Amino acid sequence: MPLSAKERAQRYRDKKKATRESHEAYLQKERERWVTRKNNGKIKTIEDLSERGKRIQRKKWREVQRKVYAAKKTNKALEAFLSANSPPTSPVGIEQPIEHANRRRGRKIIRQRQSQTHRQLRKMQNELRGHVKLVNRYKKRLERLKNKSDNVHEQATRNQNVTQTTKSPRSKTAHLLKNSNTTSQVKRTLLFQHALVEELKER
């Protein structure tokens, strides 16, 4: 037995309510999951990103907003088209099968577009998390290279100091009197002083 117009309207409202409640439950679950991942450090807010990361994130947001706006515009145009091309209600108040099929098809297209938008948003969020991980990885690598460079410089300084300490008395004298005009007597005196210091150190 076919349903009356009142029964069909009630069934449509019940189905729409169930769909809305299911969608709200899904959104609540996603919000809780996001908070948990953020508390565990797996997700960073825009304040935690570098300047380049902030620019990338804002660009992705603008792209998502553009796609959402385009989807809403398409949905409105589709609804207007379906409304304009739906056959009029029969005099006895019975909904025509074609009108009912068009509405079902229109709602299905809208749901598909909404699902596609959500998938694209999740994909962009995953890509952003990948970019943030890559930036952090390069920051750590740069820090390691900097520490390695500092260690090499420190080791070279120590080697230079050791080399200067282990010079012979004659080498020390020649280094001090380099590019200077001094008498042989001064050279012999300075050489004797260095030799005496080395001998005292060895004792």
Map tokens 């590019």 to a residue.
179
Q: With bands split at pLDDT 50, 70 and 90, how would you rate the model's confidence at 63? A: very high
Is pLDDT at 10 greater than 50 in this prediction? Answer: yes
What per-residue confidence (pLDDT) applies to 117? Answer: 87
- Work out the percent of the chain whose per-residue pLDDT is above 90: 2
138-160 pLDDT, tens digit per residue, is: 888 888 888 887 877 777 777 66
The whole-number pLDDT of residue 94 equals 45
92 pLDDT above the threshold of 50: no
Half-sphere exposure of 158 (CA within 13 A, CB side): 6
Token pair for 116: 């596609």
pLDDT of residue 179: 65
Q: Average pLDDT over the chain, rounded to whole?
A: 77
Tokens of 181: 């005009």
CA distance 50 to 27: 29
Q: Is residue 41 classed as helix, strand or coil in its secondary structure?
A: coil
**How far apart are the C-alpha atoms of 31 and 184, rounded to whole Å?**
89
Are 74 and 113 in contact, with CB atoms under 8 Å apart? yes
Other C-beta atoms closer than 10 Å to the C-beta of 173 total: 21
- The pLDDT value recorded for residue 59 is 92
